Amino acid sequence: MKKAFYIISTVLLLSRCGWTQTRYAGAAMELGVGARPLALGGAASALLSTGETFYYNPSSLGLLQKPHINLMYAPTFGSFTEPMASYNYMGAAYPLHGDGTIAFNWTRFAVDDIPVYPELGGSSFAERNKDAALRPNGTALGYIEDVEDVFYFTFAKTLESILPLGWWYGDLPITIPVGLNFKLLRQKLGEASATGMGVDAGLMIKFNLGTLVNQRQLGDLLFGLSLLDMTQTAIVWSTEHKDRVQQTLTFGMSYLQPLWFSHAWLNLYYTYLKKYDQQHLAGIEFAVKGLALRLGRNSSGLTVGAGIHWKSVIIDYAFVTNSFQDVHRISCSISL
């Protein structure tokens, strides 16, 4: 453990040298994945789901029981049918023998038909105001596109342990999943292109609160910790410009409480997130007989959503409040 700590500390220290931290580098990676986590305000550091939670905490995939294929359609800015930008996601997660899981996920953010205008004539607004020939006519020279792809390769492993609490309480079984994301970034803006590589790491601790306090009606308590872009993901442009994505630290907890009727559940979520500033994210979910209602709060305001689980298909919807414009998210998960 000491050697691992020294190695990680050295890597993090070296990663701060000789690079520029840009606030908006890799900004498309901040849009979130999965309608269910987004409907819960993004409070997903300790969320168990069908595989899309790799984005928030890669260790959550260690508790996946079945293979899943996940999809998301996310029109961004503008109308739902004719958005200014598109943000889509697809991925697959496959549990292995020995309590391990592997997954491959892909997100794409794309903006088409970005107009390019000529340089302004003259040296000042006053000069252009006097000479009509120097004024722009509003005609674009051409159009470019912005395409940002991120490929995630995830491995998660679940560890089991017994925590002895003494003769009064007995032993407490604890589940500890750990996980890593290895991600590859590719971006194209006009004639320029960029590539980058990064690593995310996370762990969770899960145990039954009823076992801890000897109250059988209580549910499971989870704690989650993740460090995203832990090596400050490097982005190198074909123009020789270099950026690094700032680290994101999340710590969260969730409580899953079974109710006394119709196999219903009430789930509470909280996540503390620190990147450029500190954020407190929270969500609540009520689920009964394959239906779920969700309410959350992110850094911009309230989020709402719903989900339906029918046989091997789960469809989730979220309405997400953003600082620029509120957006809709629809995702689907298929259990194999």
pLDDT at residue number 133: 77
Q: What integer pLDDT is reported at residue 9 of this predicted model?
A: 38
Global pTM value: 0.85
Domain limits, the chain: 2-335
d(CA 118, CA 210): 68
Which pLDDT score, from 0 to 100, does residue 1 have? 38
Tens place of pLDDT per residue across the chain (336 aa) = 343 333 333 334 433 444 445 567 777 788 889 999 999 999 999 998 889 999 999 999 999 999 999 999 888 776 667 778 888 999 999 999 888 999 999 999 988 888 888 888 777 888 888 887 777 777 888 888 889 999 999 999 999 988 887 766 678 899 999 999 999 999 998 889 999 999 999 999 999 998 888 888 899 999 999 999 998 888 899 988 888 889 999 999 999 999 988 789 999 999 999 998 999 999 999 999 889 999 999 988 999 999 999 999 999 999 998 877 788 899 999 998
Phi, psi of 275 (to 5 degrees): -135, -90
The residues pairing with 207 across neighbouring beta strands, listed in sequence order, are: 221
So what's the pLDDT on residue 49?
A: 86
Q: What is the CA radius of gyration of the chain?
A: 23
Distances (CA, A) of 238 to 27, 72, 104, 192, 195: 19, 30, 27, 6, 9
- The answer to whether 332 and 65 are in contact (CB under 8 A) is no
Determine the pLDDT at residue 116.
Answer: 86
Q: Is 2-335 assigned to CATH 2.40.160.40?
A: yes
Burial 18-47 (b: 16+ CB within 10 A, else e): eeeeeeebbebbebbbbbbbbbbbbbbbbb
